[in-house]
Amino acid sequence: MNQRESTGTVAYEFGNLFIGGVWRAGTAGSVYKDLDPYTGETLVEVPQASVEDVDEAFKSAARAQQAWAHTSPSERSALLHRAAAILDARHEEIVSWLIRESGSVRLKAEAEWTAVRAIIMEAATLPTHVWGRIIPGDISGKEHRIYRKPVGVVTVISPWNWPMHLSSRVLAPALALGNAVVLKPAAETVVSGGLLLAKIFEEAGLPPGVLSVITGSNQLIGDPLVLHPLSKVISFTGSSPVGRRIASLAVTGPTLKKVQLELGGNNPLIVLDDAELERAVDIAVFGRFLHQGELCVSANRLIVHQAIYDRFVDAFVERVRALKFGNPNLPDTAVGPIINQRQLSRLLQMIVQARSDGSIMRVGGPAEGLVLPPHVFLNVSLSDSLGRDEIFGPIAPIIKVRDEDEAVAVANDTEYGLSSAIVTQELARAERLAQRIEAGMTHINDAPAVDLANMPFGGEKNSGLGRFGAMGLIEEFTTEHWVSVQRGHRDYPF
């Protein structure tokens, strides 16, 4: 891409990693081809990082972070405001990358752009909210001061489904609080999940070395990235098995690290007997099929009260059959391509397994390239794969329940506890039920897929550790230093 944008800005070009403030090739000796999942076109070829490149990224980050931490709050805030202005100027360029690289339909890409902008603007408020404390104690004449300072270097490992959003929600607050960042985006979205952000922050004036973006073979650089002694915090968004390994390395490796994990979800959407039907269907269709269901807070299971079940199923099936799928760049496309062949093959196997388990397919169809049409299955039980596992694709399992108690029991019968939703006309009833759901988030009369920059986003059980959301990240990305001052002589026992 070298055309001139309508805004007067020249479009960014890619082909190298961003290590220590320098755009250069990785030295692993291998090249990753970044493909458009809809057309199969090669978007960019990126030479991958070696262990030596990882080491250089961390050493550069540690050196640059010292000066960055001592910049004034207003300087850091101003840089984030400049990044947001660049985001505005390059709106269509960024949206285009999200569509072409992650298979985002245009509606989702626009929503992701909006979310990234909100994250950056919220992060810009953080530099002046890092407060210390003076705490009284029992030793006469002693003052106890609690200073809060940046942790140093933060490692960010982000996924391919909402790549720019899920990288930014860690990157922007970490920078705002005076930290340096080494970011490893998913290879499938190396541009929109990482290199694009590096360009934006470089253009905004971020000092060299404060941010590095690398990509490479997990087998080669995965453990060195997690274990590097110069990083104090690891923030990971992805699968539960990988998250468990990262957490294990963080506490068993030579340098103890804090971990922030956002992992899998098997999110329930409960439709109660008094739900307004059209509203419930609107919420369920959006909650299940947004970005082909490739998001951690998707409505993974539709749990419907038996009193409304038949009417809900008929209306839901009718709406799903009308969803347009295919080219993600068309404005009315609702379901675009799956990210790659490996993920599509996993989904096709789930469909085969669902039929074997006795589930009834009401909507479906063969894949067209990497585009899987929406599927709807009935007669799903919690022992089935569709009722037990995170789907991460455009497949909707519907589970019938007798009453609200069974609905809550089914909602909680999972190892996960990320998000959840309840649809009803009786708010007090929903509020009572929400308190019984084992999840980090519950949304009443909305889909489970809600993420705001200033809210505590995170889960319970095997859905992760810690919370995202700007104010909560002050705790995650800073550390406390207790300094006591003894005034006058203190009597000692010997």
In the set 202, 262, 390, 404, the catalytic residue is: 262
Say which residue the tokens 């807070």 belong to: 297
Question: Which tokens sit at 259?
Answer: 């971990």
Look-up of token digits 């290879």: 187
Q: Which of 224, 216, 222 is nearest to 187 (CA)?
A: 216
Q: Known catalytic residue: 368?
A: no
Distance CA 305, CA 303 (A): 7
Helix, strand, coil percentages, rounded to 5, for the chain: 40, 20, 40
Task: List the one residue out of 215, 54, 165 whose CA is nearest residue 457.
Answer: 165
Q: Where are the beta strands (DSSP E) in 307-373?
A: 360-363
Nearest to 418 by CA among 353, 466, 485, 374: 466
Active site residue 93: no
The kind and range of the H/E element at 149 are strand 142-150
Helices 163-176 and 106-123, interaxial angle, to 10°? 10
Cβ atoms within 10 A of the Cβ of 488, count? 7
Per the residue annotation, which of 101, 122, 188, 296 is the catalytic one?
296
Q: Which residues does 423 contact at the CB level (< 8 Å), separation at least 6?
A: 269, 270, 271, 272, 275, 279, 280, 283, 284, 444, 445
Helices 196-204 and 163-176: angle between axes, nearest 10 degrees: 30
Amino acid letter, 449: A
The residues assigned a catalytic role are 262, 296
